[in-house]
């Protein structure tokens, strides 16, 4: 949907935060709350993967969650700017390689 021309490009949670006026601080606060909810969901997913043995205990869940969260913010800006979907998909494929065990070469989790 972020790249579908039938809808506004990008993500409201990301783009809305940068488009609010000072008078709309309540909207910024609402969007910030929703972004935190999304970050918490990413952390929970990664934590669950670690507890199930799909992600090594040595992986820093908070850092990975921050990385994926930041990536999603960046990719929504690219979608808004018209980056073609195949390019976005390739970037997603690359970031997902961070979940591949460098020793065994196998995927540790499917998020």
Digitized pLDDT (tens) for each residue of the chain, 111 residues in all: 456 677 665 666 566 666 677 787 888 888 888 889 989 999 999 999 989 988 888 889 999 999 999 998 889 888 888 899 999 999 999 998 888 766 666 654 444
Residue 35 confidence (pLDDT): 84
Q: Has residue 2 been placed in a domain?
A: no
Q: What's the pLDDT score for residue 111?
A: 42
Give the pLDDT confidence score for residue 92 in this predicted structure: 93
Domains: count for the chain: 1
Residue 67 belongs to domain spanning: 12-99
Is 73 within the bounds of a domain? yes
In this structure, is residue 105 part of a structural domain?
no
Residue 108 lies in a domain: no
Residue 3 included in any domain: no
CA dist 3 → 9, 14, 43, 49 (Å): 6, 14, 26, 29
Does some domain include residue 106? no
- On whether residue 87 sits in a domain, the answer given is yes
**How far, CA to CA in Å, does 32 sit from each of 20, 28, 100?**
12, 6, 31
Q: What is the pLDDT of residue 51?
A: 92
18 part of a folded domain: yes
**Structure confidence at residue 110 (pLDDT):** 42
The pTM for the full model equals 0.73
């Amino acid at each position: 949907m972020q790249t579908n021309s039938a809808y506004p490009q990008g993500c409201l949670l990301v783009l809305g935060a940068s488009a609010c006026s000072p008078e709309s601080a309540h909207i910024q606060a609402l969007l910030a709350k929703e972004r935190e909810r999304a970050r918490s969901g990413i952390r929970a997913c990664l934590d669950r993967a670690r507890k199930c043995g799909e992600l090594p205990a040595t992986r820093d869940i908070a850092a990975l969650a921050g990385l994926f969260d930041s990536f999603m913010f960046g990719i929504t800006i690219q979608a808004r700017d018209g980056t073609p979907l195949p390019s976005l998909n390739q970037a997603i494929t690359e970031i997902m390689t961070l979940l591949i065990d460098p020793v065994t070469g196998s995927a540790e989790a499917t998020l």
